[in-house]
Chains A and B, each alone.
Chain A
Amino acid sequence: MPRYLTQFFIRFGLIAFTLLSLGPVVWSVVTSLLPLSALTSKPPDLNPLNITLENYSLVLDSSRGLFSGLVNSLIIATFTAAVGLVIGSMAAYALARLNMPSSNKILMMILATQMFPGIVIAIPLFLVMSRTRLVDTHFGLIVVYLSFILPIVIWILKGFFESVPMELERAAAVDGASPIQTFRYIVLPISLPPLFATGVFAFIEAWNEFFFAIILTRINVKTASIAIAEFSGQYQTLYGQMLASAVLASIPVVALAIIFRRFILEGFAEGAIKA
Chain B
Amino acid sequence: MATLELINIHKKFGDFVAVEGVNLRVEEGEFVTLLGPSGCGKSTLLNMTAGLEDVTSGEIRINGKVVNQLGPFERDVAMVFQNYALYPHMTVEENIGFSLQLRKRPRTEIQDKVQKVASMLELEKFLHRLPRELSGGQQQRVAIGRAVIREPSIFLFDEPFSNLDAALRLKTRGEIKELHQRLGVTSIFVTHDQEEALSLSDRIAVLRLGRLEQFGTPEEVYSKPASKYVAKFIGTPQMDLFAGEFVEGGYQIGSVKIALPRSLKTANTPVDVGIRAEFVTLGDTGFDAAIRLVQPVGPFTYVTVDWDGGSATARVNGVSHLKPKETIKVDINPNGLLFFDRNSEKRLDLV
Contact = CB atoms under 8 A, between A and B. Distances in A.
Interface stretch (B72-80, B174-182, B205-213): B72-80
Given A173-B71, A273-B88, A275-B139, A167 B99 contact: no
B145 to A, nearest CB: 12
Contact of A173 (B73, B88, B139): B73
A168 B79 CA distance: 12
Contacts of B52: 170, 173-174
B85 A171 contact: yes
Given A165-B85, A190-B88, A275-B86, A171 B79 contact: yes
A176 interface: yes
A176 B73 contact: yes
Interface residues of A, number: 19
B132 A175 contact: no
Interface in B54-113: 71-73, 77-79, 81-89, 98-99, 102-103
B146 A175 contact: yes
B131 A275 contact: yes
B85 A275 contact: yes
Nearest to B73: A176
Most buried by A among B50, B77, B89, B132: B89
Most buried by B among A165, A171, A185: A171
A174 B87 contact: no
B50 A275 contact: no
Nearest to B47: A170
Given A173-B52, A175-B98, A176-B99, A167 B88 contact: no
A274 B132 contact: yes
A211 B50 CA distance: 55
B72 A173 contact: yes
B318 to A, nearest CB: 42
B67 to A, nearest CB: 14
A266 to B, nearest CB: 11
Most buried by B among A176, A181, A190: A176
A19 interface: no
Interface string A259-275: 00000000000000111
A186 interface: yes
B102 A174 contact: no
Nearest to A274: B132
B214 to A, nearest CB: 29
A173 B79 CA distance: 10
Contact of A174 (B79, B103, B163): B79
Most buried by B among A167, A168, A174: A174
Nearest to A188: B89
Nearest to B136: A275
Contacts of A168: 85, 87-88
B13 to A, nearest CB: 10
A189 interface: yes
A162 to B, nearest CB: 14
Given A173-B73, A181-B102, A189 B85 contact: no
Given A170-B81, A186-B87, A275-B84, A175 B102 contact: yes
Contacts of A171: 79, 81, 85-87, 146
B270 to A, nearest CB: 46
B89 A170 contact: no
B81 A190 contact: no
Contacts of A39: none
Interface string A230-249: 00000000000000000000
Contacts of A170: 50, 52, 72, 79, 81, 85
List of 3 A-B pairs having minimum Cβ-Cβ separation, nearest first: A167-B85, A176-B73, A171-B85
25 contacts: A167-B81, A167-B83, A167-B85, A168-B88, A170-B52, A170-B79, A171-B85, A172-B87, A173-B51, A173-B72, A173-B73, A174-B52, A175-B98, A176-B72, A176-B73, A176-B103, A177-B73, A177-B102, A186-B87, A189-B89, A273-B88, A275-B83, A275-B85, A275-B131, A275-B163
